[in-house]
Amino acid sequence: MGMPAGTRRWTAAEVRELQDESRAWPRYELIAGALLVTPAPRVAHQGAVSLLLMALAGYLDTETAGEVLTSPADIELEPENITQPDVFVVPLTGGRRPREWPDVKALLLAVEVLSPSNAEHDRWTKRIYYQGAGVPEYWVVDLDARAVERWRPGDDRPGIVRGSLQWKPAGALTTFALDLPRLFARVLDDDIAAG
């Protein structure tokens, strides 16, 4: 279940050791000393992650703003905090992508697709962390509500997007646009033939 594992304070070194032992699942994250443990996701979750990855990759192929990646990852934007966003965009440095996880010092975008086991942490713990770390965009994809909660640093409330999700990272010449009703229809098998 995606909840803190006990009340003791964990270190980044301990979490990395757990990650080495477990391979990919469960997924371990660390925020403010709290260990977050997430089991393997549902099929719909992974479908949404795949479609988001493909859409962002297509957009970033024409823009040189960054590179889109997925977890498992080992993102430490701040010391002793490790996150693994479902989908994320790292900025390019000198036109190059990072070679190792410790090279990732910033994100242009972090995306979490909600699952029953992680909703509280994605909406609160991680959202507050990403806002504080200065991540320009944090999207919480809610498959049940068929909406994306869009958070930016300093926001007290999310923007709720149900139609076209648009994003233009710093340095981009064009705007990314994603048809959310179509994405949700494909992920949730509303009408596979139409997708």
For 11, 15, 23, 91, the CA distances from 26, given in Å and listed in that order, are 18, 12, 8, 27
What pLDDT, on a 0 to 100 scale, did the predictor assign at position 151?
Answer: 97
- Quick: pLDDT tens for 82-96: 899 999 999 987 778
49-84 per-position pLDDT tens digit: 999 999 999 999 998 889 999 988 889 999 989 899
**pLDDT at residue 11, as a whole number:** 81
Q: Which amino acid is at 1?
A: M
| Percentage of the chain exceeding pLDDT 90 | 55
Distance of CA 181 to the CA centre of its chain: 20
Which residue type sits at 55?
A
Q: Is residue 5 part of a domain?
A: no
Q: Is residue 18 part of a domain?
A: no
| Phi, psi for 108 (deg, rounded to 5) | -90, -25
Residue for token pair 């949730």: 188
> Domain of 159: which CATH number?
3.90.1570.10
DSSP state of 124: I
- The label of the residue with tokens 């990732």 reads 104
pTM: 0.82
pLDDT by residue (tens digit) across 115-125?
Answer: 877 788 889 99
Please indicate, yes or no, if residue 17 is contained in any of the structural domains: no
Model confidence over 144-190: pLDDT tens digits? 999 999 999 999 999 999 999 999 998 899 999 999 999 999 999 87
Residue 54 included in any domain: yes
Q: Is residue 27, in this structure, part of any structural domain at all?
A: no
**What was the pLDDT predicted at 24?**
59
Q: Which of 133, 139, 141 is nearest to 109 (CA)?
A: 139
- Count of domains in the chain? 1
Considering the domain boundaries, does residue 117 fall inside one?
A: yes
Question: Is 93 inside a domain boundary?
Answer: yes
Would you say residue 163 lies in a domain? yes
CA angle centred on 145, ends 144 and 149, rounded to 5°: 120
> What domain range includes position 104?
41-194
Provide the pLDDT confidence category of residue 194 given band limits of 50, 70 and 90: very low
